[in-house]
């Protein structure tokens, strides 16, 4: 106990540097003492073994542990030390196994001495580091303990003083409460009197005081408080919008001045009086924005955003959407900018009037074609459009057709191409167009016609006959007596009926002259041809007649198209032949 007290006193008397130096010297002395003690415990070079009771004194001499050890040299390297360590451990194991009584503790001691002997620098360095760390931690622990004690003492003193102050204040509050209980009537009377006197003075001052407000030195009126003028000016924009069609914001701090005045019987303006006074001042100065075109001021509006919106609407007025056109960004050719200006209320223009002025040159409506815009709005657009590519006509000679006859074989088809052009507009009118490219979507297909090359026969009777239809017909009624059951139809059939679809071509059975072409009673539209030699043929129930009376036709010429005109139960060709005016079976002509 005395040593600890003495050390504590020394710690208080010494500074940190002195204490650190003293403890370092003590640790160094203690390390040296332990080193000498270990050196003294090492056995002599003779390697004698001593036995005391049941304990066996361990042989640690290099000569005794292993006779194979080489003499230790100063400054030997890590490899030699490791080799010597391995040999020493092997020799120590053999020596321990040879002793009759060698405990595990003695065996560990033998191995430890061999390791310390082989790796003495490392062992000493580790021990020194451990001793230094232990000393540092011990000193740190002492310092931390002192800090903790100091903080605890400080908290205790703080708690004591705060508690004493709280008790003192509480005692004073309690004393004041007791005093109030005794003198509360007198205190209330004094308080009420002071409050009443102050209220009377404030009311008197308030009734005598007011604010005279003016606009750039021009006195406008008297108000009870500045706030009333502020509130009116906040509403003034809406009032002016109703009167002049513009939104105007007044700057109270800049435009209105207040002066405190005192007096009896002052004429105080009410809310409506202030509003009307400011509203009907056409010379109210406001901060506005001018639209300038090519250096010339054309209009003044209330806000910069209003001016910008007007110019954007002017661009939109001249750039109308058109199908197939992709418009770019519109620009104004003139130098247009918006600048802040000082103005009076009367100078503010209605935005719609300004827009009309820039678009047409006048604020009043103008006739179409008389507009004189103040700006030129330019815009470029990419025009994509499709157009047809004309198809050609090809003729193929056909010896089965007579000269002059043409027959369509394959209908022509238009090709399609997509073209792109860069188009420039100014104020909605196209001023230039530059082709950009063309892409063929589909190629045209030529129309193919057969052109007859066969010589045209004589346009008179040849005495030989061809059938008036090519193919695809059916005989539905023969020559002679019949019972059709159709009202108006003859019971004696003077020809043959050949069923074909409407529109089938009808050919002349032989050359000759057309003696009738028109509508003929029950036969409907029909053609009669005189072939000479007292022969005639008749073609009835046609839909279209292709020849007229007096035409000279040749054998095989297309003279009509089949139909169902006249009295008939369905589309067909009525074909008959006559000799000297008397009908006979026409089929006999082809036998």
Q: Say if residues 448 and 427 touch (Cβ distance below 8 Å).
A: no
Cα separation, 446 vs 466, whole angstroms: 35
pLDDT of residue 57: 39
Nearest to 319 by CA among 307, 331, 309: 331
Lookup result for tokens 């020849």 = 547
Segment holding 453, helix H or strand E:
strand 447-454
How far apart, in whole angstroms, are the C-alpha atoms of residue 96 and residue 93? Answer: 5
The vertex-167 CA angle with 165 and 173, nearest 5°, equals 105
**Residue 525 CB contacts under 8 Å (≥ 6 apart), including other chains:** 518, 519, 540, 541, 542, 543, 544, 545, 560, 563, 565, 566
Return the DSSP state at 369: T
Q: Retrieve residue 335's tokens.
A: 């130098």
Please count the other Cβ atoms lying within 10 Å of the Cβ belonging to residue 461. Answer: 20
- How far from chain centre, in Å, is Cα 115? 76
Return the pLDDT at 242: 55
pLDDT of residue 64: 42
Within 8 A by CB and 6+ apart from 56, the residues are 49, 99, 100, 101, 102, 106
Q: What is the DSSP string of 487-524?
A: TT--SEESSEEEE--TT-EEE-SS-EEEEEEEE-GGG-
CB under 8 Å, gap of 24 or more: what pairs does 305-311 form?
306/247, 306/351, 307/338, 308/338, 309/351, 310/351, 310/354, 310/355, 310/358, 311/336, 311/358
In the numeric block, which tokens belong to residue 219? 């006195």
Q: Which residues contact 78 (CB under 8 A, 6 or more apart)?
A: none
Identify the three-state secondary structure at position 321: coil
pTM for the model:
0.39
- The per-residue pLDDT string of the chain (591 residues; one tens digit each, 9 = 90 and over) reads 455 555 555 555 566 667 667 776 777 787 778 778 766 755 444 443 343 333 333 434 334 444 334 444 445 677 887 887 888 888 878 887 777 777 788 778 888 888 877 777 777 778 788 888 888 888 888 888 889 988 998 999 899 899 889 999 998 888 888 888 888 788 888 888 888 888 877 777 666 778 888 876 677 788 877 778 787 777 765 665 555 444 455 667 777 888 888 777 677 787 777 777 776 666 666 678 899 999 888 888 878 888 899 899 998 888 888 888 989 899 999 999 898 887 777 778 888 888 888 888 888 877 777 888 889 999 999 999 888 989 999 999 888 777 777 888 899 899 999 999 999 998 888 899 998 889 999 999 999 998 888 877 777 778 889 999 987 889 988 898 876 656 556 678 899 999 999 999 999 999 999 999 999 988 999 999 999 889 999 999 999 999 999 999 998 889 999 999 998 888 999 999 999 989 999 999 887
**Right CATH number for 465-590 from 3.40.50.2300, 3.40.50.150, 2.102.10.10, 2.70.70.10?**
2.70.70.10
Nearest to 536 by CA among 573, 511, 566, 507: 511
Q: Does domain 381-451 have CATH number 3.40.50.150?
A: no
Decide if 565 contacts 574 (C-beta within 8 A): no
26's CB contacts (< 8 A; 6+ apart) are none
Pure H helices in 71-103: 78-98
User: In what helix (H) or strand (E) does residue 273 lie, and over which residues does it extend?
Assistant: helix 271-279
Is residue 2 classed exposed, middle or buried when 0-12, 13-18 and 19+ CB atoms within 10 A define those classes?
Answer: exposed
Q: Where in the chain is the domain with CATH 2.70.70.10?
A: 465-590
CA–chain centroid gap for 278, Å, is 48
pLDDT at 251: 66
Distance (Å, rounded) from C-alpha 356 to C-alpha 375? 12
Closest C-alpha among 365, 360, 361, 240 to residue 301: 240
- Across 296-351, where does the E strand assignment appear? 296-301, 325-327, 331-332, 336-344
| The predicted structure's pLDDT at residue 9 | 52
Angle of the 78-98 helix axis to the 104-118 helix axis, nearest 10: 160
CB 584 within 8 A of CB 492: no
Residues of the chain with CATH 2.20.230.10: 381-451
How far apart (Å, rounded) are the C-alpha atoms in residues 574 and 497?
5
For the chain, helix, strand, coil in percent to 5 are 40, 30, 30
- Residue 579: CB atoms within 10 A of its CB come to 11
H or E segment at 528?
strand 525-532
Report the alpha-carbon distance of residue 363 to residue 369 in Å, rounded. 16
């Amino acid at each position: 106990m005395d040593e600890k007290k003495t050390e504590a006193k020394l710690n208080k008397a010494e500074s940190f540097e002195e204490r650190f130096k003293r403890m370092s010297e003590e640790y160094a002395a203690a390390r040296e003492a332990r080193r000498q003690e270990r050196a003294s415990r090492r056995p002599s070079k003779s390697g004698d073994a001593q036995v005391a009771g049941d304990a066996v004194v361990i042989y640690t001499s290099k000569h005794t542990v292993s006779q194979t050890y080489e003499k230790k040299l100063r400054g030997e390297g890590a490899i030699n030390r490791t080799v010597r360590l391995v040999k020493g451990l092997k020799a120590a194991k053999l020596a321990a196994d040879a002793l009759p009584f060698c405990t595990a503790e003695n065996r560990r001691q033998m191995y430890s001495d061999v390791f310390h002997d082989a790796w003495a620098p490392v062992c000493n360095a580790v021990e020194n580091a451990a001793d230094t760390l232990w000393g540092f931690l011990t000193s740190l622990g002492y310092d931390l303990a002192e800090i903790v004690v100091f903080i605890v003492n400080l908290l205790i003193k703080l708690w004591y003083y705060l508690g004493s102050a709280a008790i003192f204040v509480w005692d004073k509050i309690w004393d004041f409460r007791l005093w109030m209980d005794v003198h509360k009537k007198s205190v209330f009377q004094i308080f009420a009197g002071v409050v009443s006197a102050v209220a009377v003075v404030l009311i008197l001052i308030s009734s005598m005081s007011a604010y005279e407000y003016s606009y750039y030195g021009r006195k406008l009126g008297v108000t009870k408080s500045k706030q009333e003028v502020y509130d009116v000016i906040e509403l003034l924009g809406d009032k002016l919008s109703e009167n002049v069609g513009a939104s105007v914001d007044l700057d109270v701090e800049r435009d209105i001045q207040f002066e405190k005045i005192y007096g009896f019987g002052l004429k105080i303006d009410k809310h409506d009086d202030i509003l009307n006074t400011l509203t009907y001042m056409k010379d109210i100065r406001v901060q506005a924005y001018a639209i300038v075109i090519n250096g010339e001021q054309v209009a003044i509006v209330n806000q910069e955003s209003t001016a910008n919106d007007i110019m954007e609407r002017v661009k939109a007025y001249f750039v109308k959407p058109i199908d197939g056109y992709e418009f770019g960004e519109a620009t104004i050719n003139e130098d247009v900018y918006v600048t802040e200006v000082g103005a009076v209320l009367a100078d503010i223009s209605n935005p719609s009037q300004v827009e009309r002025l820039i678009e047409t040159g006048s604020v009043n409506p103008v006739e179409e074609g008389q507009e004189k815009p103040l700006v030129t709005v330019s815009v470029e657009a990419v025009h994509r459009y499709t157009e047809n590519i004309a198809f050609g006509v090809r003729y193929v000679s056909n010896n089965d057709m007579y000269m002059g006859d043409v027959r369509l074989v394959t209908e022509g088809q238009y090709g399609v191409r997509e073209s792109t052009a860069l188009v420039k507009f100014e104020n909605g009118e196209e001023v230039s167009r530059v082709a950009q490219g063309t892409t063929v979507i589909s190629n045209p297909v030529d129309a193919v016609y057969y052109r007859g090359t066969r010589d045209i026969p004589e346009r008179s009777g040849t005495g030989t006959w061809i059938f008036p239809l090519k193919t695809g017909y059916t005989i539905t009624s023969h020559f002679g007596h019949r019972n059709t059951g159709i009202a108006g139809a003859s019971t004696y059939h003077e020809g043959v009926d050949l069923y074909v679809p409407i529109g089938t071509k009808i050919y002349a059975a032989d050359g000759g002259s057309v003696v009738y072409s028109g509508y003929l009673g029950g036969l409907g539209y029909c053609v009669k041809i005189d072939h000479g030699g007292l022969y005639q043929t008749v073609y009835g129930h046609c839909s279209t007649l292709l020849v007229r009376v007096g035409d000279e036709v040749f054998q095989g010429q297309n003279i009509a198209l089949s139909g169902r005109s006249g009295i008939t139960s369905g589309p067909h060709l009525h074909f008959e032949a006559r000799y000297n005016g008397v009908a006979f079976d026409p089929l006999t002509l082809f036998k």
